[in-house]
Each structure stands twice: as structure tokens, then as C-alpha cells.
Chain A
Amino acid sequence: MKTDVWQGTLALMVLKTLESLGSLHGYGIARRIEQTSGEQLSVNYGTLYPALLKLEQEGYIASEWGVSDNNRKAKYYKLTRAGRKRLLEQAREWEQTTSIVARFLSPATSTGNGGAS
């Protein structure tokens, strides 16, 4: 059973995807996220497109109509300068959060580090 993508992290995944792949359409973004997750996540359009719209409204991504590989009209999204900055910030925050949570979840290392710091 695939898990629906978590709302809070979707924006980060979208930004990261666009950073590594450059300009991409909605379907491509969804596929890429699903593949990267090892098909453990599923992204449907009810969550993806509002999230893309929100990022665009906030100015982190920009969109334009283009033509896909197999000659279809599709809307392409790409990262803006503000989006790049945002990605860095969000990635740092995320790493910080996960490392803190990780410390809580592995008691052995946490006691050892606790004494040192």
C-alpha cells in the first residue's frame, strides 16, 4: 500500500526535484517523487496541483506552457531564485529536525552525546 505524500514535505520535494531536473511538468514532478521514494509514495493531482499553485503564488517557482517529449502541450515549472534560497533553508531545517528526532529515537547514542555536550 502506497502512502499519500505528506503535505508539509511535498513542497520541499517539489523544490528539490526542480533543482535537480530543471524545468519539468506536473506529471513529471509526480513521477519523479514517486520514483525517488522507491514507489512508496503516491502523488495525486488533488494534492500536487494546489501545492504547485501555492509555490507559484509565493514566487518560489514559475510556470510556462511548453511542449513535452511526445509533442503534447504541457505546463512546465522551474525554480526561481527565491525558490533556490527557500530550498536551501528548508533543507537545512529538515536536516536539523530529522537529526534531533533521530537523537530522541536512538537512546544509546543520545546518552553518550548528552554527557559530552
Chain B
Amino acid sequence: MRSLRALLFRIRGLFRNPAADREFDDEMAAHLEMQIADNLRSGMTEEEARRRALISTGGLESAREAYRDRQSLPLLDSLFQDLRYAGRMMTKNPGFTAVVALTLALGIGVNTAVFSVVDAALTPLPIPQPDRAVMVWTECPKRDWHHFPASIPDYEDWKASGVFSSLAMFGEDGFNLRIGNRTERVNGLRLTPDAFAVFATRPLLGRVFEPRDAHQGNDNVVILTESFWRSRFGADPSVVGKNVMLDGVPHIVAGVVPKPRFAHEDLYVPLVFLPPASTDRGSRSNVVVGRLRPGLTLESAQHRMKDISERLAREYPKADAGLSASLQPLEEALFQDAQTLVYVLLGAVGFVLLIACANIANLLMARSASRGKEMAIRAALGAGRGRIGRQLLVENMALALLGGVIAVVPAFWAIQFILSFHLDELPNTELVSLNSKVLIFNFALAAVTGILFGFAPLAQLRKTNVNDTLKQSSRNASGGVQQRLRGLFVISEIALTLVLLTAAGLILQSFLKFRAADPGYRASGVITMRVALSGPQYASSQRQLQFFNSAVERARALPGVVAAAATEELPSSDNFHASGFHIPERPATRVEDIPIALHDAATIDYFQTARIPLLRGRYFTTADREGAPAVAIIDDWTARRYWPNQDVVGKHFKMDSRQYEIVGVVGNVEPTILLAILKGRAAQVYVPVAQEPKPAMTLVVRAAGDPASLVAPIEAALRNIDADQPVFHIQTMEQARVADRAMQLLATSLLGGFAILAMLLATIGIYGVVSYSAGQRTREFGIRISLGARPSDVVALALRQGIVIMAVGIAIGLACAFALTRALSSLLYGLGATDPWTFAFTTALLAAVGLLASYIPARRQTKVDPLQALRHD
């Protein structure tokens, strides 16, 4: 406590008070005079008395110094002195300060931005013991299928196993909600009441679901999420217990819950188990989440699930052979989609910062070389090595912190840029901000970089010999160690840049490939929009068919429309319908070997409207109606894969225990990005919607002109048929195609930007090193020229160092790139992670830029006047 009190006094003393200094002087004067008076009394002469007094009291100046040190904190005091000096140095060289601070601000800013995104994404779920919540997936190791949904009977067996204290099943769904006289499309989850136990959700108002809500007849209840309740119901507490029209059926609002942050849903309705899905082990459309029973570790739970899966596979070989259940911590599951992107970005911004640091260290070393003399003078005047080192470190820290302050600006921009992509894959984007944690990270990073590059000039300080430096007439003292160190910095810059450049090249090329690729249909000039029919009036499939037939007819009748059709799913949709696919005349295969077919119901004009070419046979016709033999069109890949070298038209296959006759073969369309989870290609089957009506379809309308201009007239036409059916997912076919590629687009833009930044920095680095060392050899070149060396010889000599640095940097960079670009694989389209052309191109680009950066200063040496050069110090 006493020492704390003293510290406070001393801190106060830092803000030096002139009155305190005067007081000390007075006290000393009094002391001296009393001593003199005593001496006089003992009989000395006045002169003698004064002399003796001065001797016995000691030096006044050193006493004052000691007193001042005690008055304040000497270390801090000199720190302030260093800071003042650092400030002077910064303002004296504003250009240098600006270059360093801006380089650093960019390097730190992008790191801060990515940190804020990652930090938000990894925020623990707002539920108790989030680490006990797990997803339970179906997986098929033989097909390399993971993270698949589960069937209801399997779920019930898992639930009875005792591995979980609660286990819930849920699925995403869309709903038509009528508020007042307006119907809108909202997102929701159908879930079993156990979900509220898994997430330990407490209602804000009313109640959560109870087991009886999941029984047919009791299930017309809905729970609203808080944000939805606030925005649509004005936070009206009396809404609980009232009816709302959901999909044309009155539902009682049971309660309002705070939104768990794991999905973008507006409301919840009970998931009711109805036949045939409730008894069909092969029908898997909902996912399962549970809470592990207390005391059970994830590993032991996984073991128990393996035993259960083996038992189910034996008991129900037709559905479950070869399948097993896998557990995945919920938080990991939420993060996994964005994982690759996040790791790639973290790596990229880390590289950018390292390159920035190497560059700044380089600049600082070049500058401290020219400050060698200043340091020598300081040393000669008695500054210790530690003192000079501390001053340099303070200067560099001050620079770094200045960079850290400016970094907030690029960090803010980068965060806005990343958020503008609205990535669904990234959890908790609403939490991303420049909050205090992020700012602490920002400044801690600035401090670390300050120390990192601040040590570079210190390394050379060790070598300073005061006498030699002062004697040197040259304006700068060069050291071999320093040159080697600078060379190493540039080599690492080049290596890091090559990795970034290659990664950016790969992802840019795959994005361009994707844009240029022929998807198998003509996406331009087509507007699409979706309708999901709801309400008792559409209970029969005939009414559903009638609606979409008249919707297509009315759309086709609009001016400016070339063709119109409807399809169950767009080719690029992230929703797809897959079934087992059998060919009757071939032997049945084991369940895990059954081929998978994706099926899509479409109106007869779908292929003409989307311009999917017919290769053989015929399109659907009006004759393919209810009651007529079931027909199907397959794509070229399916025809070649399952009926190689045969005329497939007229052949049959079975799907969902229904037999189809193949009437035509159309061109392949590019599979949706989500198909990657099926690992490999699946058969594609189209069926006429007249034979298999669907309640939700997407209208596909080809325009003569701008497709966007058709949105309003089509919407009006649909409202004319039924104003209660909202239209949603309005987008052009081109937008739909790139919609799922937002992650790739973001990665392309960011990596591209980082790579350009890195290349700029590395170019400056190599230019600096070559021009510096060439400058050091001016006299040598002058002699060579005067002895008859040709300009090209001089250029070659001056270039040599640059070439060696480039070659070593590129070799290391290539090795790193080969090892690291693999991480990009899941973001790439149409090329491998070690695509040789990309590697060759980026290497050539960097080499060319680097050579140019070395050639310019090398070339300058040939312009040297030999006489001038010989006089050069």
C-alpha cells in the first residue's frame, strides 16, 4: 500500500511542477547556509566555511538529479523523452512515416476485419453447455456420404437408445403467413417439441411446444421468434393465444421465444410424423440434433451409436445396410460450411501482414543505416547501448501504434465489404463489429508487429563501433550482415507473395471458368420466381397443377415474353430431390450400391424455355397426362452411364417404386454446387408435372428484352389467379446460378486484392535492395566502365543479386504454394488446387515484375560517369 502511495506521488511528479523544483532549490540553499553558519561558528574564515560546506554536502546537480528521479519515475520519464523524439522523427520524415504507417495500417486492418468475422462466427451458442449439443447425422462410408439427414424410424430408435437426454428432429420449411390482408412468405422450422429441451429454450411469452402438439389434430400451433414478433406483430404481447393464418390454416400462437442464433428462421411449427415417411426408413428429409446424456463423453456416445447402427443395419438391411450414425458437435456443424473460407482468409491476411512487416523492417534498416552516424554520436556522448536500443524500439513502437490507429479505417471498410456478401454460411454475422475485443486485438497486433520489425535495426546496432562510424566519410555505414538480412526479408516477401498470388490466381481462374462455362442451359434473359401453394383449396394435386398451368399460360400471354414454363427446382437450386434408381432387367444391388437419381418435375415447355437441347427422342407433350403411361426424360450423362452404346429411348427404369418409360434424352446441365456432398455425379431424371403435380414450383420466363421488366406484370398476373399465394425468390436465372457462389466470389475479391497488395510490397522490397546495393557499388562500376566494361556487363552484374533473391524466393514460394493451395480445393471450380498453368502464370508474372524492379536500378548504373563514380565516396 505504501509503495502504491509513493507510486502515485511519483506519477504526479511526471507532470513536472516548476514550483517543486524551486522548493528543492530553497531547501538546498537553506541547508548550505546552515552548514556555512556552523562552520563560521567553529572559527573558519568565510571563504573556508563555504568551501568546506560545499565539499561536505556533495554535488548539488547530482543531488538534484537523484531527487528528481525519486520525484518521478525515471524510466517513464525517459520514455516520454523517447516518445517526444520519436514524434519529431516522424514529422521530420513525413513521407517515410506515411509509407510505413499506411503499409502497416493495411496489413493490420485486414487482419482485424477477418478477426472480427471469425470471432463472431466462433461465439458460443447462447444455450447452456453448448458443447453437449450434437448433430446426429446419417452417413454412408462406402459412398463417402457424410452429414446426411435421418429417417423418422431411425430417429425413434436413436432416441430410445439412452445416449441422449433429449433428441429432436427438425427441418427447414417456408410458409405463407397472412397478416391483415397481406400474405407473405416466411421461413420457419418444423421441429419436434424436444428441440426446446435440446436448446434449453425458455419462452419470452406463452409456452414452448409440448409432446401433445406433435400429434395430428393438435398441431395447428405456432411459436414466433422474438425479432419476427417485434417486426411483424409490433411486439404485441396479446398475440399469444390468437389465431394467425399459416398456409391458409388458422394456427394458435403458443408463445414467443428468443431466437437461437443457429438459423435464419422466423417461426416454428411442430413436426408431425405422418405416413408414409413415419414408417419409411429409406426416406430421409430431416436432421437430428440432441443433447448428450450427462456423464457420457462424445467418444463413448459415438461408440454406442455405432453399435445401434450395426443392429439397425442387420434388422433393416433394405434401408440401413452400410449406413451408420455419426455425432458432430453442434458448434462445429454450424461453422463447417464457412470453415474453408475462414481459414483461407486467415492465412491470406496473415501473409499480408508478414509481408508488410518484412517490407517495413527493410525500410527501417535502410534508414537506420543512414542514421548510423547519429547513433554513433549518441553513443559517444555516453548513451548506453540499451538506451539507444530502447529509443529505437520506442520509435518503432510509436510507428506501429500509429499504423494501428489508422488500421481501424481499412478494418471498417473490409468488414463492410465482407458483410455485403450476406454469406449464409457464416454464423453470427449480425455480431460482427469493431467492438472492444476486436479493437484490443487490433492494437495488440500493432504492438506485436512493432516489436517484430523493431528488432531488425537493433540487430545491426550490436555491430556499431563508434570510432569507425565517426571516421567514415560515407553518408551511410553499410554492413554485410545487414545486407544479408535485408536479402532474407525480400526472399520471404517474394515467397509469401507467390503463395498469395497463386491462391488468388487459382480462385480467380476458377471463378472465370465458372462464369464462362456453359451450364447446359441459356441463363441470360430469363426471370424466375417461386410460388408455394398453400391453403385447403390446393389440397388436391389437380388444383395445384391447374394453378401452375394457368400461371404459365398467363405469363406466356404477356407482351415481351418469348417462352414460359415451370419447374419443381431450378438447375442451380440448393434444394434437390434424390431417389434410388433401378433398371428392371438388371440384378438388384446392395442398398449402398444403388445408383442415385435426381428428379425434377417440369411443365412441357421447360426445356425449350431454358434452352436445354433435346438430343434424342421427344419432349413432353400434352398427351403425357394423368392416367397415361409414366414417362421420363433423362440427361445425356445418365444415358451413357447406364445404357452405354444403346438407344435408350423406349427403355424403362424404376424410381420410388414407380416405373417410367424413357421418351427423350436432353443435354447435361451443370450440377448445383451442393451436389458435391453426393461425391460424384448422379443420374438426372425429368418427369412431366402433369403426371406428378407439385405444390411448389418455380416459374421460368424468357424475355425478349430485359427480364427484370417482366417481374411486375407476372406478379400482377399471379395475383389475379390467387392473391393469397405470395411470390418469392424473384431472380434472373443468371443470379440464381451465382447465388450459391457468394463465398467463392468473396474469396476471389479478397484474395485478389491481397495478392495485388502483396505484389506491390514485394516489388518495393526488391527494388529497394537492388538499388541500395547497386548504389554501394557505384565506384566499382565506374572503374569497370573506365576499364572498358560494356553497359550490358554492368547491368548483368547489378542484376545478379536481384536474380538470386528472386530465384530463391520463388523456389521457396512454389514449395509452400504446392503444400498450401490444397486448402482451397472446396472453393475451386473446374481446376485442381495445383493447376500447373496457374502456377506457371503466377510464377512468370512475379518473376517479370521482380526483374523489372531490379532492372531499373541496375540500368541506372550504366549511366554512371566513370569520373564522377571514381570521385564518389
Contacts and interface: CB of A to CB of B under 8 A. Distances in A.
| A and B: bona fide binding partners | yes
B2 A58 contact: yes
Given A73-B26, A74-B27, 20 more contacts: A25-B30, A27-B31, A28-B34, A31-B38, A44-B63, A46-B58, A46-B62, A46-B63, A46-B66, A47-B58, A49-B63, A49-B67, A50-B66, A50-B69, A57-B6, A57-B70, A58-B2, A59-B2, A72-B34, A74-B34
Nearest to B6: A57
B57 A72 contact: no
Nearest to A60: B2
B425 to A, nearest CB: 60
A36 interface: no
Contacts of B23: 75
Contacts of A113: none
A40 to B, nearest CB: 14
Interface in B1-28: 2-3, 5-6, 9-10, 23-24, 26-28
B698 interface: no
Contact of A58 (B3, B38, B66): B3
B37 to A, nearest CB: 7
A45 B2 contact: no
A53 B23 CA distance: 12
Contacts of B3: 58
Contacts of A49: 24, 27-28, 63, 66-67
Contacts of B37: 70
Main secondary structure of the interface of A (DSSP, over half): helix
A46 B31 contact: no
B5 A27 contact: no
Interface string A65-81: 00010101111000000
A88 B383 CA distance: 43
A6 B326 CA distance: 75
Contact of A59 (B5, B10, B58, B71): B5
A19 B575 CA distance: 91
A23 interface: no
Contacts of A25: 30-31, 34
Contact of A54 (B34, B58, B63, B70): B70
Contacts of A59: 2, 5
Main secondary structure of the interface of B (DSSP, over half): helix
B71 A53 contact: yes
Contacts of A31: 38
A90 interface: no
Contacts of A75: 23, 26-27, 30
Contacts of B66: 46-47, 49-50
Nearest to B62: A46
B59 interface: yes
A49 B57 CA distance: 11
A57 B5 contact: yes
A41 to B, nearest CB: 12
A54 B10 CA distance: 10
B33 interface: yes
Interface in A76-107: 82
A50 B71 CA distance: 8
B6 to A, nearest CB: 4
B35 interface: yes
A54 B31 CA distance: 18
Contacts of B5: 57-59
Contacts of B30: 25-27, 68, 72-75
B56 interface: yes
**A28, A44, A68 — most chain B CB neighbours (10 Å):** A44
Contacts of A45: 28, 31, 57-58, 60, 63
Contact of B6 (A27, A58, A82): A58
Given A44-B56, A54-B70, A58-B5, A72 B33 contact: yes
A31 B57 CA distance: 11
8 contacts: A42-B56, A44-B57, A45-B31, A49-B24, A49-B28, A49-B63, A60-B2, A75-B30
* Contact size range, A: 20 to 34
Contacts of B38: 31
Nearest to B34: A27
Given A45-B28, A72-B34, A53 B70 contact: yes
Contacts of B33: 72
B680 to A, nearest CB: 79
Nearest 7 A/B pairs, CB to CB: A44-B58, A46-B63, A57-B6, A50-B70, A27-B34, A57-B9, A58-B2
A18 to B, nearest CB: 16
B35 A27 contact: yes
A36 to B, nearest CB: 16
Contacts of B9: 57
A114 B38 CA distance: 51
A47 to B, nearest CB: 8
A59 to B, nearest CB: 6
A15 B67 CA distance: 19
A47 B56 CA distance: 12
A40 B56 CA distance: 13
Contacts of A82: 2
Nearest to B69: A50
**B26, B27, B57, B59 — most chain A CB neighbours (10 Å):** B27
Contacts of B56: 42, 44
Contacts of A58: 2-3, 5-6
A44 B440 CA distance: 49
A28 B35 CA distance: 9
A57 B67 CA distance: 12
A26 to B, nearest CB: 5
B132 to A, nearest CB: 54
A58 B28 CA distance: 22
A46 B9 CA distance: 20
Nearest to A72: B30
B812 to A, nearest CB: 57
Nearest to A46: B63
B544 to A, nearest CB: 88
Interface string B113-137: 0000000000000000000000000
A58 B4 CA distance: 8
A46 B2 CA distance: 23
A70 B35 CA distance: 12
A107 B35 CA distance: 45
A70 to B, nearest CB: 7
Interface string B287-299: 0000000000000
A26 B71 contact: no
A4 to B, nearest CB: 9
Contacts of B70: 50, 53-54, 57
Contacts of A28: 34
Contacts of A26: 27, 30-31
Nearest to B30: A74
A47 B31 CA distance: 14
A30 to B, nearest CB: 8
Interface string B34-66: 110110000000000000000011111011001
A49 B63 CA distance: 8
Given A70-B37, A74-B34, A46 B59 contact: yes
A32 B834 CA distance: 87
Nearest to A34: B56
**A25, A60, A74, A82 — most chain B CB neighbours (10 Å):** A74
Nearest to B2: A58
Contacts of B57: 44-45
Nearest to B61: A46
A50 B13 CA distance: 13
Contacts of B71: 53
A31 B3 CA distance: 28
B21 to A, nearest CB: 13
Nearest to B65: A46
A82 B2 CA distance: 10
**A46, A58, A60 — most chain B CB neighbours (10 Å):** A46
A58 B69 CA distance: 15
Nearest to B37: A70
Contacts of A44: 56-58, 63
